[in-house]
Structure 1
Amino acid sequence: MTVSPQRARPGSTELQALVDDLAETLGRSVVVDDPLVRMVCTSRHFGDEDPVRVGTLLQGRADSATVRYVLSLGVARWTRPGFVDGRPDLGLLPRYVVPLRARGHLLGLLMIVAPDQALAEHETAAVARAAEAMATQMYGEQLASDTRRSDERTMVLELLDTDLATRTAARRRALELGLIGEAGHVLVSTVQLCRGTEPGRQSDTALWAALEGLRRTRTAQGLVAVYQERAVLLQLRDRPPAPEEIEAQCARILEELRTFLDPSAVPVIGVGGRQQGLAHAWTSYEQSQVAARAARRLPSLEGVGDWERLGALAVLLQLPEHALNPSLVPEPLRMLDRAHGGDRLRDTLRCFLENAGSIPRTADALSLHRTSLYYRLRQIQEITGLDLDDGAHRLTLHLGLRIGELLTAAAPAHT
């Protein structure tokens, strides 16, 4: 199988030429990946291709299992060349890997297929010379890329600023530059990395990689800002996104991050409310912050908080972190917890309130005879001293239960 040299992602012709020259000198397949093991450019085959290489050429990137394996070996922290063992179960032959670094930054990974895990001295010398030239070339390209990303980050943060004048000026500038349109529905999502994440360039790169494909899609145009272990995705759409679209987008982002980052990293996503027009993007952004806080606190959300599904939690989660403590739990609920069978009665109360006080629906949900349900509800009223027919009393109990959910969940790593 003959495959022409190609670039899977934007890269210079100068870098491609360096890859081609090295491949011809060695008579081996050569590829340059970015720090997340995504192909930047590659040489032609020399009869040493494996399923991973062929699949990467066809798909534009290696499969997630292969990426996770290579990154798990710590190649992003290597300071000198070394061999990566093959994985027959993944269809991966051994590679000679050279970290491409400049001024302390990892710019990419030079990989050479080496089935026997051995290179002659003249080959390693040729690789070292080529790697130095590649790192120099990539460093210049990285500086330009960093400038573009920095400009975009500034634009996004100004569009979402709480100050009206700042937002207005940024919106006018974005429209003049053609970066984003005015019409349409706006949606802002916030992605945050929590617990165990090592701050630094690698995590920022992972965040950008997970979101960059969503900047321009068939149904949306957007901008991305990455900063301080978090990323913001601002999207404009011709119509409000359907719930299944949001779910699919969030699932894609989380899958990408779980591929690129160490398992100890815990990414969460907060999805803001759907707003009309770019002028209201800041509102969706503020809501996405609250939704991300919900995702951090509530494992039941599985890493994704959506403002429009939070209900009363959206209000409670706007309390300062220090104020969200056990003192907020109403005394009647504390009395219920201390009572005999308190857990069972609390579950009954929660089900009753979530079913709007409907006896038939609550009994069905609990698989309980109505007589037994009435008995439990009388117990709850006697213990708490509250009347379940009183709207204010029911609100007190329902909010108390919601606060309890937030307090019993794992404490957040970042506020």
Structure 2
Amino acid sequence: MKADYQELVDEISALLGAPATLENRDFGLIAFGAHDSDDASAMDPVRTRSILTRKSTPAVRAWFEGFGIARATGPVRIPAAPEAGVYRDRLCLPVRHRGVVLGYVWLLDASPGPAPDRLAAAMEVAARVGALLADEERASADLSRELRAALTAEPDWRLDLALAALRAALGPGAEGLHAVVCVAPWPGGDGPPVRVAPGAAALCTVPWPAPGGREAGAAAGGRSSGGRAAGGRGPGGGSGGREAGAAAGGPFPGRHAVAALVRLRSAEALSPATTAGARLCDAAGPGAVAGIAGPRRGLAELPAAWAEATAAARAALAEPRLGPVAPWSSVGPYRLLTALPAAARDDAAVRPLLAPVHAELARTAETFLDCAGQAGRTAAALGIHRQTLYYRLSRVEQLTGLDLDSGEDRLLLHMVLKARAL
């Protein structure tokens, strides 16, 4: 499919005598023609960024759309604007199919510009591009429906039917090696933009919190703008975040997650999945994270892979240092903690320590345990004197009845402190 787009872009470049660039309607780069000019102004900041990052900024998109390109049915000339990083005039050919704009072909414009018959021929090629994009969107919508059904089906005959339908939709590729990616939160319920996740065999949106991780929305409930929440590690160790977020039902009401099935070349190389996760996080906006399941061949273990991907995303939401892209293999104890039901993550002995009034003590205890019980490292990490640390740890013992010299008590306390974010 990519070769088809490239051939059509090259055909437009030849017709109009200028290198062409094809973007989808979300200004994501699809293909671009060869550029061999010595004119430095031809590669202005906007064009360079589009090619190097395969996308344009929202400001650039809004600026170009201000010229009516989304409504136009013919070529649109756009004047240079050096203050906006556009050093040369542009010629935009809207790519439409059945009246719907699906993308844009961009060329550098020069007076007097291409002859009318050449422009008409280029618009005919753009219409062929539109037909290809429409076919791809239809295929993507079909795969999205089948993937969503497979991820949300109950574990009975309905799951068997959903997996069979997904196998049929994917064709021979269904039995290949792949990784499942979960990106959350995804704003709104619409599907992810086509081409936003390179290498993805299928994409869909699912409700978030996801099945198997129903506390995920509350997992990030207390994350303040400074990072981790309550009792947590934001600036000043403020204590109001997590409890308030959880009480409100989590910070992402009505939002969704994106699931992506990404093809892999080998089980040792997760880069296609991490790249897709990073791209989807960029598209989702600030605060989004990606969890990546372990590689699998075929679809038989799709539910288990989805559980791993959602758990890794929940871990990254709870512990920002793990993200924004977190493979399942990298989330450490959260592989176990995310599998526990909410009730099992509570402990009567530790519960008093988790009260908002004791947030600083909880933070001290968690840092002490993260530092393997080394007082010097802990005091340095917290920026406090050792005597202050010893006093706080004694208060932790008094509140919980736990003995911090006991390995088992330390393990219990550490697990509960880590699990509270979930």
Q: Hey, what does 1:188 align to over in structure 2?
A: 180
Matched, 1:137 2:134: no
Q: Hey, what does 1:230 align to over in structure 2?
A: 258
CA contact (8 A) 2:77 2:89 kept: no
CA contact (8 A) 1:187 1:281 kept: no
Matched, 1:40 2:31: yes
CA contact (8 A) 1:294 1:317 kept: yes
% of aligned pairs identical?
Answer: 21
Deviation at 1:232, TM superposition (A): 0.8
| Two-structure CA RMSD over aligned residues (Å) | 5.0
| Residues 328 and 255 (structure 1), Cα distance of their counterparts in 2 relative to 1, 3 Å cut | farther
| Distance in 2 (alpha carbons) for counterparts of 1:100 and 1:155 | 28
Provide the secondary structure at the position in 2 that maps to 1:211.
coil
Give a deviation string over 1:295-332, Cα, whole Å, max 9, x none: 345444442233333345455556889x9999999532
| Residues 210 and 267 (structure 1), Cα distance of their counterparts in 2 relative to 1, 3 Å cut | farther
Report the AA paired with residue 347 of structure 1: R
| Residues 300 and 181 (structure 1), Cα distance of their counterparts in 2 relative to 1, 3 Å cut | same
CA contact (8 A) 1:188 1:271 kept: yes
| Distance in 1 (alpha carbons) for counterparts of 2:268 and 2:295 | 7
> What does 1:230-379 align with in structure 2 at a 5 Å threshold?
230-236=258-264, 238-241=266-269, 245=270, 250=274, 253-254=277-278, 258=282, 261=283, 264=285, 267-274=288-295, 278-314=299-335, 317=338, 330-334=350-354, 337-338=356-357, 343=360, 345-355=361-371, 358=373, 361-367=374-380, 373-379=389-395
Provide the secondary structure at the position in 2 that maps to 1:106.
strand
Matched, 1:384 2:368: no
Deviation at 1:381, TM superposition (A): 1.6
Provide the secondary structure at the position in 1 that maps to 2:301.
helix
TM-score calculated relative to the size of structure 1:
0.64
Give a deviation string over 1:74-101, Cα, whole Å, max 9, x none: 5397323351635599685231324333
Report the AA paired with residue 165 of structure 1: D
Where do 5+ consecutive residues of structure 1 fail to align? 1-6, 216-222, 407-415
| Distance in 2 (alpha carbons) for counterparts of 1:277 and 1:347 | 43
Matched, 1:210 2:230: no
CA contact (8 A) 2:368 2:378 kept: no
Provide the secondary structure at the position in 2 that maps to 1:112.
strand
| Distance in 2 (alpha carbons) for counterparts of 1:48 and 1:130 | 27
| Distance in 2 (alpha carbons) for counterparts of 1:383 and 1:301 | 30
| Residues 17 and 171 (structure 1), Cα distance of their counterparts in 2 relative to 1, 3 Å cut | closer
| Distance in 1 (alpha carbons) for counterparts of 2:304 and 2:119 | 52
CA contact (8 A) 2:29 2:54 kept: no
CA contact (8 A) 2:148 2:205 kept: no
CA contact (8 A) 1:86 1:95 kept: no
CA contact (8 A) 1:19 1:42 kept: yes
Report the AA paired with residue 294 of structure 1: A
CA contact (8 A) 1:350 1:398 kept: yes
Q: Hey, what does 2:234 align to over in structure 1?
A: none
| Residues 86 and 325 (structure 1), Cα distance of their counterparts in 2 relative to 1, 3 Å cut | farther
CA contact (8 A) 1:290 1:314 kept: yes
Provide the secondary structure at the position in 1 that maps to 2:300.
helix
Where do 5+ consecutive residues of structure 2 fail to align? 207-256
> What does 1:25-36 align with in structure 2 at a 5 Å threshold?
30-35=20-25, 36=27
Give a deviation string over 1:211-233, Cα, whole Å, max 9, x none: 23xx5xxxxxxx33244672412
CA contact (8 A) 2:28 2:54 kept: no
Q: Hey, what does 1:219 align to over in structure 2?
A: none
Deviation at 1:46, TM superposition (A): 9.0
| Residues 191 and 329 (structure 1), Cα distance of their counterparts in 2 relative to 1, 3 Å cut | farther
Matched, 1:146 2:124: no
Report the AA paired with residue 183 of structure 2: V
Deviation at 1:288, TM superposition (A): 0.6
| Distance in 1 (alpha carbons) for counterparts of 2:385 and 2:49 | 59
| Distance in 1 (alpha carbons) for counterparts of 2:275 and 2:266 | 22
